[in-house]
Amino acid sequence: MQNADEKQPQPGWQQAVRAGLNAALVPFLAIVTAVIVGGVIIALVGGNPFAAYLGLAQGAFGSARAWSETFVWATPYIFAGLAVALAFKGGLFNIGAEGQLAFGAVATAWVGYALPEVLGIEIPGILHLPLAIGAGILAGALWAAIPGALKAYAGGHEVINTIMMNYIALNITSYLLNGPMKDKNPLNVIARTPEIAEGARLPVIFDGLRVHWGFPLALLVALGVWYLLWKTTLGFEIRTVGANPDAARYAGINFRRILIVTMALSGLLAGMAGAVEVTGLNYRHELGFSIGYGFDAIAIALLGKTHPFGVVLASILFAGMRNGATRMQFLTQIPVDIISVIQSLILLFVAADAIIRYLYRIKAKEERLVLTRGWRG
Chain contacts with another protein (rule: CB under 8 A): 1-6, 8, 10-11, 15, 231-236, 240, 243-244, 246-247, 249-254, 364, 367
DSSP letters for 292-304: THHHHHHHHHHHT
Rounded Cα gap, residues 142 and 222, in angstroms? 21
113 by DSSP, 3-state: which? helix
**How many residues can be counted in the chain?**
377
Closest CA to 338 of 24, 55, 25, 29: 55
Q: What is the largest CA-CA distance in the chain?
A: 80
CA separation, residue 197 to residues 10, 134, 140, 189, 217 (Å): 50, 16, 22, 21, 20
Q: Is 320 exposed, middle or buried (0-12, 13-18, 19+ CB in 10 A)?
A: buried
- Axis-axis angle for helices 233-243, 255-277 (nearest 10): 110
Rounded Cα gap, residues 13 and 181, in angstroms? 50
Q: How much is the CA Rg of the chain, to the nearest whole Å?
A: 22
CB 269 within 8 Å of CB 217: no
